[in-house]
Amino acid sequence: MVAGLAYNPIDEELVNLRKRAKDLCFKYNNTLPSLEATKKEIINELIPDNKGSFHIEPSFWCDYGLNIHLGENFYSNHNLVILDVADVIIGNNVLFGPNVAIYTAYHPLDEKTRISGIEYGKKIVIEDNVWVGGNSIILPGVTIKKGAIIGAGAVVTKDVSENTTVVGNKARPLIRKTNNEI
Q: How many Å apart are CA 53 and CA 77, to the nearest integer?
A: 15
β partners of residue 121: 105
Contact 33, 53 (CB under 8 A): no
Annotated active-site residue 107? The verdict is yes
Contact 129, 109 (CB under 8 A): no
Contact 103, 139 (CB under 8 A): yes
Q: How many Å apart are CA 125 and CA 145, to the nearest integer?
A: 8
β partners of residue 50: 70
Q: How many Å apart are CA 80 and CA 7, to the nearest integer?
A: 25
Give the helix/strand (H/E) hosting 102: strand 101-103
Residues designated catalytic? 107
